[in-house]
Amino acid sequence: MKTPELTTQDQARLQQFLDQLHEDASVVLGYPSAQDFDYSSLHPFLGLQLNNVGDPFDDGTYKVDSRDFEREVLQEWAELVNAPEENWWGYVTNGGTEGNLYGLYLARELHPNSIVYFSQDTHYSVTKNLHFLNMRNIMIRSQPNGEIDYEDLYETLRVNRDVTPIIFANIGTTMTEAKDDIGRIKNMFADLAIGDYYIHSDAALCGAILPFMQEKANFDFADGAHSLAISGHKFIGSPIPCGIVLALQDNVNRIGRSIAYIGSMDTTVTGSRNGFTPLVLWHAMRRFGREGMRHRVQHCIALAEYAEQQLQNVGIPAWRNPGAITVVFPAAPAVLQDKWQLATANGISHIIVMPHIKREQIDSFVEDMRALRAQENPQ
């Protein structure tokens, strides 16, 4: 059968929409989506229907897949987050939510009698995941910088020592890019003689930043994580939401058995899986290399420092968490929230200095903030 074409009218509508999007995208300062990419060499793959259905380490009957590339991507990131060499498993997900859902699912299967602990500043999708999975959970206070309140956590763990703790650690909270210190949390377990526990690192943003920093936070497998999720469309950059989830192979095998028991063969959350995004993530790492990623990280941190300074210079009490590319300040006026697409919650706004952000955009934003404040508070 011959495939028909779009009408001229529909084509014109698409073009107009595309132009509008480019305009909108140029003023995104509030969302962590890297835009410094050009994946046009991959577009021909959209002529096919790639489907990495099932486990990335199995070869299925359906051959139109990119599992080879997916495995290379996983290998690269497993190394970067210090997964034990012969004891990791993972796959490319549709984004952060799926990676976290997988990590929590794994934790639940391993520890049916457990409580999940997570801070107040945790992304809203996590409570939904927990509700989905029917998991007992306790929300812990956050510190003003967005990091989990270790004292509250300690006290809560202490009174629930009869139930296995599952820690959902934020490695970069949504609003302030705060990182929970899983090394410190592990010490609590030792102190409380809690031998059985599980730690999942939600490293959506920072999982792609920290491996390239001199002084890294405690967040990865070397620091005690049992599973870890990274977003592909945040710091790495992808036109389509995607992510990487990694977990200890031993644990995956243990629940593999329970999955076989319930009559299911595959290990991933979704069955049919996007075969295009593994190519995107492969392309990014081949293009940048680790050295290029290090440069991107340095660039962003330097520019975030600059933005923080410039905002302070015009009288705005901006601040950053250590090593963060997120600059936090009191809620921006609504008109600027809208213009610069700033996420705002609980009285604070932020800008996130991603690799494609230019100094001129920061300057222009700071000038907008200054002008509006001057207008509102005339001297």
- Residue numbers 158-197 binding a copy of itself by CB under 8 A: none
Question: Which residues, 65 to 104, sit near a copy of itself by CB under 8 A?
Answer: 66, 68-69, 94-98
| DSSP notation for 197-217 | -EEEEE-TTGGGTGGGSSS--
Write each residue from 275 to 314 as x if it is in contact with a copy of itself (CB under 8 A), else as -, in one continuous string: xx--x---x--xxx---x--xx--x---------------
The one among 76, 87, 133, 149 contacting a copy of itself by CB under 8 A: 133
Residue 236 φ/ψ, nearest 5 degrees: -70, -50
Smallest distance from a copy of itself to CB 347, Å: 16
DSSP code for 347 = T
Residue 44 CB: number of other CB atoms within 10 A? 8
Closer to a copy of itself by Cβ: residue 265 or 371: 265
Stretch that binds a copy of itself, among 25-33, 82-90, 175-183, 187-195 (CB under 8 A): 25-33
The one among 125, 142, 218, 310 contacting a copy of itself by CB under 8 A: 125
Closer to a copy of itself by Cβ: residue 25 or 222: 25
Residue type, 24: D
Smallest distance from a copy of itself to CB 260, Å: 11
Smallest distance from a copy of itself to CB 279, Å: 8
Give the three-class secondary structure for 237.
coil
Whether 231 and 281 have beta carbons less than 8 Å apart is answered as no
Whether 305 and 342 have beta carbons less than 8 Å apart is answered as no
Smallest distance from a copy of itself to CB 132, Å: 6
DSSP code for 62 = -
Write each residue from 311 to 340 as x if it is in contact with a copy of itself (CB under 8 A), else as -, in one continuous string: --------------------------xx--
Smallest distance from a copy of itself to CB 314, Å: 23
Report d(CA 45, CA 314) in Å as an integer: 49
Give the three-class secondary structure for 345.
strand
Whether 171 and 203 have beta carbons less than 8 Å apart is answered as yes
The one among 12, 16, 25, 250 contacting a copy of itself by CB under 8 A: 25
Whether 96 and 243 have beta carbons less than 8 Å apart is answered as yes
Q: Which of 247, 237, 245 is nearest to 277 (CA)?
A: 237
Structure tokens at 340: 């610069």
Residue 374, interface with a copy of itself (CB under 8 A)? Answer: no
Residue 132, interface with a copy of itself (CB under 8 A)? Answer: yes
Distances (CA, A) of 124 to 96, 128, 130, 253: 12, 7, 10, 30
Closer to a copy of itself by Cβ: residue 83 or 92: 92
Smallest distance from a copy of itself to CB 4, Å: 5
Smallest distance from a copy of itself to CB 127, Å: 5
Whether 65 and 55 have beta carbons less than 8 Å apart is answered as no
Closer to a copy of itself by Cβ: residue 48 or 371: 48
Q: Which of 226, 197, 224, 225 is nearest to 117 (CA)?
A: 197
Stretch that binds a copy of itself, among 77-85, 130-138, 209-217, 371-379 (CB under 8 A): 130-138
Distances (CA, A) of 166 to 79, 104, 279: 24, 8, 33
The one among 105, 150, 189, 319 contacting a copy of itself by CB under 8 A: 105
Closer to a copy of itself by Cβ: residue 299 or 373: 299
Question: Which residues, 35 to 64, sit near a copy of itself by CB under 8 A?
Answer: 35-51, 61-64
Burial class of residue 174, CB neighbours in 10 A (0-12, 13-18, 19+): buried
Smallest distance from a copy of itself to CB 60, Å: 9
Question: Which residues, 220 to 279, sit near a copy of itself by CB under 8 A?
Answer: 231, 233, 237-241, 259, 262-266, 269-276, 279
Closer to a copy of itself by Cβ: residue 82 or 364: 364
Residue 1, interface with a copy of itself (CB under 8 A)? Answer: yes
Helix (H) or strand (E) holding 164: strand 164-170
